[in-house]
Structure 1
Amino acid sequence: MAAAHEGDFTGATDLIVDGKALEGSWVVYDQILKEGTCTLEEGGVIDPTVSHRVVRFTVNTPNIGDADIALGDPAVHVAAGDGLYQLSTCHQHWHFQHYATYELVDPATGKVWQAAKRGFCMIDVVPWNGGVQSPTSWVYRVCGRPAGPNGPAIVGNQGISTGHADQYYKWLGGQYFVLDGGDGQAPVPPGNYIIRIHVNPPFPCTKFDRDHNRPVDPQGMCHNFFESRYDNNVAEAPITLPVSRPGRTGFGPGGGQTPPDVDPIDDENRPATTDGK
């Protein structure tokens, strides 16, 4: 692992969603999502005692700008009451709120299913080039936590360096859509769909947002952090949900292996991949 370097704050950040990684990683499984792994909270699963059909996927969000996203210690934001972070009671570390939205879309009807995942630990996970810039060594790699059941407080350092990507690998808790209605949404029939990921999504500005100087895009919508542009924050991947059982190693381009017995959590030691799968 390369040593951390000083942050780069000259210029502007620019996040994208790595569409190639999304397209190559999705895989359908029938699996039991076990209690006690945080995946039930992250995935919105109601009954953990039965097998559920899910489609898993990897989300890679590179910073292709010429400056870092530097948020620092989440505890400072919590103390300031700026609404950017909350404590994940399951993971026992700080989660950035509303970092990305996960949607499964029926292109024929426009119907949308939402993934339950809402919290993210935003750190440098993998270097990313993409023909845009050469990655340097990482800077941000500590989620941070308050003192609690897992031990003393840890000062966090969250952000994404230029030339690095925050990544949420398909095995992590919440990195899936529940397809059989097991999360309280309508079941998703077999057929063709689109996975849509939106990083740093827009939302209507409130007085609270204006009081806390949220960035505003040209359309008048607020975002949680500033970027040089917001029109490249979405990626979509077409997928096909099978009628038949997907088998132990799954159905889809990200298949070929059995899922882990326990979903890892999205801390500093989360699994990652450099090829997106």
Structure 2
Amino acid sequence: MGVVSDPCARSWIGRPSSAWVGLALVCLALSCQAQPADEGGGATGETTESAADAGEPNQAPAAPSLASPADQALEVPVVSELCWTPAEDPKGDELGYRVWVDGVELANGETGEYGFTTTCTGPLNLLGERSYSWRVRAFERDDPTVESPDSETWTFTTGWEGDTKVLLFDDFSEDRGWTVSGDAQSGAWVRGVPQQVYDLDAELAQPGACQAGQCWYTGDNPGGTLGEADVDGGAVVLTSPPFDPSDATSISVSLARFFYRSDLVPTGVSLELALLVPDPDQAEGVTVHVLDKLDGGVGASPQNLWTSVAFAACGIELVPDTRLRITATDLVVPEAVFVEAAIDEVLVEGYLDSDVCSQGLGALCDPAAPEAACGADLLCCAQGPIFDGVYRCDYPVAELGDLPPVEQGGPLFGPLGCDAPDLTVLDWDLEVYTQLIWVAPDSCSLYEGCVDGDGWRTVLRFDTKTANVGSRDLILGIPANHPDLFTYSPCHEHYHFDNYATYYLLDGDDVVAAGHKQAFCLVDWESWAWDGLGPEDRVYTCFNQGLSLGWSDTYAAQLDCQWIDVTDVPAGDYTLRMEINLPPEGKSHSTLVERRYDNNVLEIPVVVD
């Protein structure tokens, strides 16, 4: 590894204080997480040699027993903790515990160490109506290589929260019974990961990745050739498995979609989203309710970025065995127009106590024309921590802004807006400097694209301080809630939070170098709004992520990859541009929901010497 490496790859509870006190501080800022155990794995329980025992075999502790939530428990609250009974060690050594949820280890972000010293995790924020699996392993705190076998793996399912209930959700990570049909000559729907294709104008004609993981897309095109296996000469149809909305008062359908057409205005080219409602009086046994249709004509616009959208299904009969249908059509002379489509993360929700089709509080709304649903007094606000295209009418609330109340939890007096977090980049006391570092050929810095080459490199180091100045906390919870937001790094042996912050070095308007935040967590680090709050007041950590109102996530200049490689940049005056939570490449919107996005960029003058 290079001089600047990942120091938290092997940080454990129980490491002698002289070895880890300084290291723990670095690891907390790095927000590190251990590599998940192999599928079905667990420690073997082989004996190891402890220095304290002068060569005598040190027997591994027994496997812990899980306690709560009970195995296969239902309706578990969305804020719960995981608990287990203490494991026994043959010599009575102090033990720590490693915990995995859905195969992802929970890293103890409060201390920068792996594992827990207690037999409960503390409160975790979980998703409603979601099934989780979990297991625990014990280890000796004085010698963490001495581990128990894994506990049993238990499962539990959370209850629903609020006024919505999931009727159908599919991220297409596995086959859940969608059917493919249609009469087109080519372009049939395929589940997997598409091959990136650009047209002659350098416009994206087919995405090179799904919204998250796998998706359905039209026409497998392994060669990446424009017009190869696109939709031609008819329609390609994708139909969902049935779902039952009969207990709901109204329903909504949301999904991520991509739609490319080489000509915006031809007739006979479209992407249609429709509900198929059983109706024995119809010839085909269903009534077709079109929720949305992208086609040609006046007002047509490109849709060739991943875009999350949502629609209320109004004026339909809510009966069992309803299905969703997505149809891509090209009836133009083959080869005259290129048509590609893709869909991902389909969600159908039922509203049990409210009608999203009625005007007023809670109604589903269009942010481009909010008054139709919200009237003059309500705002059209995006829902949830992760943007999924759903907007509902809500009352305006004050934000924290630049004038926090005297005490945490006091009334807010900032401008009115949607009730949501608001992330911004602080320029307070930023440390910016250049440094010469040595990068080994096998370093993580090189492997993960933090530098442009090995050997001696000059980097511009700087702090990134992200503050929440909105009206409420940003709550992400455990990493398993949103696996699409994290990428596992085999080099660092932990997960990284993707597409959160990017950095550019500008000479005027020209980008001369770039970098990115290579971090795992978004966590409470320090309170910028109230004095006297310390580590014991943090709510969100590596294992239960988020950012409290009035707190900031600080990524210090001295950390690995917190830089821009300026080795080949001439000395001189430049502008450092930091961007947080802007739309990732290939997507039309930001990942995290905020009140506003016009304060997500900070530019400061810097000198490269």
TM-score tier by shorter-chain length is 0.5 to 0.7
| CA displacement 1:45-75 (0-9 Å, x = unmatched) | 3543x32111110101011112111111112
Could you tell me how far 1:41 is from its partner in structure 2? Answer: 3.5
Could you tell me how far 1:121 is from its partner in structure 2? Answer: 1.8
Asked if 1:100 corresponds to 2:508, the answer is no
- Counterpart CA distance in 1 for 2:445 and 2:438 is 11
Taking the TM superposition and a 5 Å limit, the aligned residue runs for 1:1-277 are: 11-21=419-429, 24-34=430-440, 38-45=444-451, 47-48=453-454, 50-78=455-483, 83-107=484-508, 110-129=510-529, 137-142=537-542, 156-180=543-567, 187-203=568-584, 221-242=588-609
User: Which amino acid letter does the alignment assign opposite residue 192 of structure 1?
Assistant: D
- Counterpart CA distance in 2 for 1:200 and 1:140 is 18
- Counterpart CA distance in 2 for 1:128 and 1:235 is 17
Between the two proteins, what is the percent identity of the paired residues?
A: 34
SS in 2 for 1:62: strand
Partners of 2:512 and 2:569 within 8 A in 1: no
SS in 1 for 2:604: strand
5+ residue gaps, structure 2, are 1-109, 111-121, 126-384, 386-396, 398-418
Could you tell me how far 1:188 is from its partner in structure 2? Answer: 0.9
Partners of 2:494 and 2:520 within 8 A in 1: no
SS in 2 for 1:39: helix
SS in 1 for 2:424: coil
Could you tell me how far 1:223 is from its partner in structure 2? Answer: 0.9
Could you tell me how far 1:174 is from its partner in structure 2? Answer: 0.7
SS in 1 for 2:423: coil
CA gap 1:56/1:204 in 2 versus in 1, 3 angstroms? closer
- Counterpart CA distance in 1 for 2:578 and 2:558 is 17
Match of residue 169 from structure 2 = none
Could you tell me how far 1:91 is from its partner in structure 2? Answer: 2.6
TM-score by length of 1: 0.62
Could you tell me how far 1:135 is from its partner in structure 2? Answer: 6.1
SS in 2 for 1:102: strand
- Higher mean C-alpha deviation, range 156-165 or range 86-95: 86-95
User: Which amino acid letter does the alignment assign opposite residue 422 of structure 2?
Assistant: D
Could you tell me how far 1:39 is from its partner in structure 2? Answer: 3.1
SS in 1 for 2:482: helix
User: Which amino acid letter does the alignment assign opposite residue 75 of structure 1?
Assistant: A
| CA displacement 1:29-52 (0-9 Å, x = unmatched) | 12213566633334533543x321
Number of aligned residue pairs: give it.
197
SS in 1 for 2:481: helix
Could you tell me how far 1:117 is from its partner in structure 2? Answer: 4.3
User: Which amino acid letter does the alignment assign opposite residue 167 of structure 1?
Assistant: T
- Counterpart CA distance in 2 for 1:235 and 1:203 is 17
Partners of 1:98 and 1:200 within 8 A in 2: yes
- Counterpart CA distance in 1 for 2:526 and 2:123 is 15
Could you tell me how far 1:161 is from its partner in structure 2? Answer: 1.0
CA gap 1:171/1:74 in 2 versus in 1, 3 angstroms? same
Partners of 2:462 and 2:562 within 8 A in 1: yes
| CA displacement 1:47-106 (0-9 Å, x = unmatched) | 43x32111110101011112111111112322xxxx222212223222221011111111
CA gap 1:203/1:34 in 2 versus in 1, 3 angstroms? closer
SS in 1 for 2:446: helix
Partners of 2:486 and 2:498 within 8 A in 1: yes
CA gap 1:170/1:204 in 2 versus in 1, 3 angstroms? closer
SS in 2 for 1:20: coil
- Counterpart CA distance in 2 for 1:168 and 1:18 is 12
| CA displacement 1:206-241 (0-9 Å, x = unmatched) | 5xxxxxxxxxxxxxx411111111111111110111
CA gap 1:65/1:6 in 2 versus in 1, 3 angstroms? farther
Partners of 1:43 and 1:116 within 8 A in 2: no
RMSD over aligned Cα atoms? 3.1
CA gap 1:25/1:51 in 2 versus in 1, 3 angstroms? same
- Counterpart CA distance in 2 for 1:6 and 1:120 is 17
Could you tell me how far 1:171 is from its partner in structure 2? Answer: 1.2
CA gap 1:14/1:5 in 2 versus in 1, 3 angstroms? farther
Could you tell me how far 1:116 is from its partner in structure 2? Answer: 4.9
Could you tell me how far 1:164 is from its partner in structure 2? Answer: 1.2
- Counterpart CA distance in 2 for 1:163 and 1:134 is 13
CA gap 1:17/1:197 in 2 versus in 1, 3 angstroms? same
User: Which amino acid letter does the alignment assign opposite residue 86 of structure 1?
Assistant: T
5+ residue gaps, structure 1, are 143-155, 181-186, 207-220, 243-277
CA gap 1:62/1:117 in 2 versus in 1, 3 angstroms? closer
Partners of 2:502 and 2:516 within 8 A in 1: no
- Counterpart CA distance in 2 for 1:204 and 1:51 is 31
Q: Highest Rg: 1 or 2?
A: 2
Could you tell me how far 1:119 is from its partner in structure 2? Answer: 4.5
- Counterpart CA distance in 2 for 1:25 and 1:5 is 35
- Counterpart CA distance in 2 for 1:39 and 1:200 is 23
The structure with the largest strand share of the pair is 2
Partners of 1:54 and 1:178 within 8 A in 2: yes
- Counterpart CA distance in 2 for 1:19 and 1:232 is 12
- Counterpart CA distance in 1 for 2:577 and 2:523 is 22
User: Which amino acid letter does the alignment assign opposite residue 488 of structure 2?
Assistant: L
Partners of 1:39 and 1:172 within 8 A in 2: no
Q: Whose RCO is larger (CA < 8 A, sep 6+)?
A: 1
Partners of 2:557 and 2:563 within 8 A in 1: yes
User: Which amino acid letter does the alignment assign opposite residue 556 of structure 2?
Assistant: Y
